[in-house]
Amino acid sequence: MLKTFVLLLLSLPVLTGCARDPEVDFALNLYLLSDEQSDDSNSVTETLEMEGVRGNYTWSYYGYHPGEPPADVNEDFKLTEEQVESLKLFIKDQGLNMDLAEEKPMDELGRRMEFTLSVTMNGESTEISMKGMSYIWENGGDGSGNLDNIALIEAAQSLIYTVKDLGGLYED
């Protein structure tokens, strides 16, 4: 009887469907900082972390805005498996599942950007890391920046908007 009980106890995770491959099917860690250096300097920092269907989103603002205190958001959310699959397709379609490192000078007046994105999909991991200026208006700058891959930052912002929409993180 004891042998049967031990065998049943050891088999329980398999029988209940709780046994999972330890390899991560989907995870992402995104950090995006947009920092303006000017007379009314300000910054916005966003992070998005997911593992499987569970995630966390943070947003914080710091800087010049008369009459408004700094704001912070920190929200947990859960997606469905179907939404995660759609998210994987979005990441692939936007070219966000690649390895890339780009670092440019960030010492002029204008808008500085820092962006990192680590993605694991189906056991394969990639990482993007970028720093530079998205807009330069100092020393006769025409507003253009020095980042070669600014479209990836724009795609990352779209990824944040998509996850916020899927996770129900927008206020009604």
Q: What are the C-alpha distances in Å from 72 to residues 10, 53, 75, 141, 154?
A: 46, 23, 10, 32, 22
What is the predicted pLDDT for the residue at 146? Answer: 82
Average pLDDT, the chain: 81
Asked whether the predicted pLDDT for residue 22 surpasses 50, the reply is: no
CATH (residue range 23-166):
3.30.1560
Q: 29-52, pLDDT tens digit by residue?
A: 999 999 887 777 888 999 999 999
Asked whether the predicted pLDDT for residue 56 surpasses 70, the reply is: yes
Put residue 105 in one of left, alpha, beta given phi > 0 → left and psi -120 to 50 → alpha. beta
pTM: 0.78
The residue extents of the domains of the chain are 23-166
Q: 59-118, pLDDT tens digit by residue?
A: 998 887 666 666 788 999 999 999 999 999 999 999 999 999 999 988 887 888 999 999
The alpha carbon dihedral of 163, 164, 167, 168 has a sign of negative
More reliable by pLDDT, 12 or 164? 164
Give the mean pLDDT of 113-125: 94
Put residue 135 in one of left, alpha, beta given phi > 0 → left and psi -120 to 50 → alpha. beta
What is the predicted pLDDT for the residue at 139? Answer: 62
How many whole angstroms separate alpha carbon 25 and alpha carbon 114?
27
Name the pLDDT band for 13 (thresholds 50, 70, 90).
Answer: very low
